Structure 1
């Protein structure tokens, strides 16, 4: 690797000894103006999202208590699924709509097809990001679930399975108006409810 880089040293020196002329400054100014404009639009949108979420601060805080989910993720989740869970007869319906319910085509103990549907791309993306984040975070019952799935089915399936679990928890919290309780990584040894009413 060092040898191949050594051959490129003259090219690198030449690239670093350039000159910024008037037309370069003109083009840079156009790019910077475009960046400033987009940044201003992003700030405006973020303020609008924040203002829209103010009446639902308590629900955002509730979702933020779930491992792997932060305030930004909670905002995306609420924007995608709403607050009224009565539109989904069960968590299975919500999971199917989100594209997080794998098929179960099994015969003679062999699973032939476990593909997931396309579903809601934004919701699926934020939940899989949450699943990946919590797998690297502090020990908790969901992280324990993730690594248990990794052991038998691999990381990709574990991410989807954990995202599915997160969505089921969210559905329960919003349906029952309850708060998340953490039983740490030894949750399977615990006997009791995972959620408590407000």
Structure 2
């Protein structure tokens, strides 16, 4: 998963334990424990406050650092979410929102045993270069109308 480092995974497992995710009945309970869920204070049907509660733990810090790293990535599902929130409400709110989204994804991965599948796969720089090279070669082959017989590759 993009943005999550080895140290973040170790921090989360160290704080929660390998079976600790099953102690939380829902993703909301996990994000609330990690101090990432909004604390909706409602009185008489009117929302008085919806800020995330104060307090910190190592899981929150690790997820916020991962969310900050995601904010620096380009063209991934999570970085697009980060940029959308950052444009509307600012970078700090976007870090909190992305950290909460990461916590929900991690909880679902751990409890439901479902892998993280983004809509479009993240490509590293060397993969992007290779894809660009193949694309340029195909374009040149089409431009010069080269057939496989014209290349005369021999297997011996």
TM superposition score normalised by structure 2:
0.68
TM superposition score normalised by structure 1:
0.55
Report the alpha carbon displacement of residue 137 of structure 1 after superposing the two structures with TM. 1.5
Match of 1:69 in 2: 4
Change (3 A) 1:125 1:115: same
SS of 2:3's equivalent in the other structure is: coil
| Structure 1 residue ranges (4+ consecutive) displaced by more than 3 angstroms after TM superposition | none
Task: Work out which structure has the larger RCO, using CA pairs closer than 8 Å and 6 or more positions apart in sequence.
Answer: 2
Query: Counterparts of 2:96 and 2:61 in 1: how far apart (Å)?
Result: 10
Based on CA coordinates, which of the two structures has the bigger radius of gyration?
1
Match of 2:113 in 1: 177
In the alignment, which of 65, 71, 76 is matched to residue 140 of structure 1? 76
Match of 1:90 in 2: 26
Task: Return 5+ residue gaps in structure 2 as ranges.
Answer: 122-156
RMSD: 2.4
Q: How does 1:112-191 map to 2 (within 5 A)?
A: 112-184=48-120
Report the alpha carbon displacement of residue 134 of structure 1 after superposing the two structures with TM. 0.8
More helix by share: 1
Q: State whether structure 2 residue 37 is matched by structure 1 residue 101.
A: yes
Please say if residues 102 and 114 of structure 1, whose CA atoms lie closer than 8 Å, have aligned partners that are also in contact: yes
SS of 1:181's equivalent in the other structure is: coil
Number of aligned residues: 120
